[in-house]
């Protein structure tokens, strides 16, 4: 049986490697932490959702949008299944929309952006509202132009 602190050690190592720019090695350690977490607990939790989001963010940065979508989707789905409300949820939906946007899945991106905006408004987060409204406006222009940026 694996000691629970092993998961924490792998995660911290992955986070440090991410911070210092060794993304491939960071992913190796973070996926190991993910596997250990699943072995230790089959129940969904914020911790596993956060780990999925972190892994998805690294994939996004590396322009590996398929894996970014997979892990970001996992993080959002886990969070939505938990009974609590999390302040990070609209941020994660916004990130999920950005993944879809990079994959040119504009309708899916718009859906995530609009849900994110709704939650930012409920939280009365002016910065989140502004950022998301800007993303929605830009995406609608992009969709109107057939997926071609005006820049």
Whether the CB-CB separation of 53 and 92 falls below 8 Å is answered with yes
Instruction: List, for residues 91-107, the tens digit of each pLDDT value.
Output: 999 999 999 999 999 99
Q: Are 96 and 113 in contact (CB under 8 A)?
A: no
Q: Which residue has the tokens 């993080």?
A: 75
Q: Global pTM?
A: 0.87
What does the pLDDT look like over 8-53, one tens digit per residue?
Answer: 999 999 999 999 999 999 999 999 999 999 998 888 899 999 999 9
CA 113/CA 133 separation, integer angstroms: 8
For residue 27, count CB atoms less than 10 angstroms from its CB and return exposed for 0-12, middle for 13-18, buried for 19 or more: buried
Tens digits of per-residue pLDDT, 43-81?
A: 889 999 999 999 999 999 999 999 999 999 999 999 989
Q: What angle do CA 118, 109, 95 make, to 5 degrees?
A: 75
What does residue 94 show for φ and ψ, rounded to 5 degrees? -60, -45
| pLDDT for 146 | 83
Dump the DSSP string for 79-133: HHHSSS--TTHHHHHHHHHHHHHHTT-HHHHHHHHHHHHHHHHHHT-HHHHHHHH
């Amino acid at each position: 049986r694996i000691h629970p602190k092993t998961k924490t050690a792998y995660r911290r190592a992955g986070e440090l490697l991410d911070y210092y720019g060794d993304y491939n090695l960071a992913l190796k350690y973070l996926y190991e932490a993910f596997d250990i977490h699943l072995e230790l607990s089959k129940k969904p939790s914020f911790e596993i959702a956060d780990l999925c989001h972190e892994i998805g963010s690294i994939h996004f940065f590396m322009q590996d949008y398929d894996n970014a979508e997979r892990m970001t989707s996992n993080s959002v789905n886990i969070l939505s299944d938990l009974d609590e409300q999390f302040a990070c949820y609209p941020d994660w939906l916004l990130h999920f929309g950005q993944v879809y946007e990079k994959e040119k899945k504009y309708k899916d991106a718009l859906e995530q952006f609009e849900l994110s905006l709704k939650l930012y408004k409920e939280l009365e987060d002016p910065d989140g509202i502004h950022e998301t409204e800007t993303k929605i406006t830009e995406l609608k222009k992009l969709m109107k132009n057939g997926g071609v940026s005006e820049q």
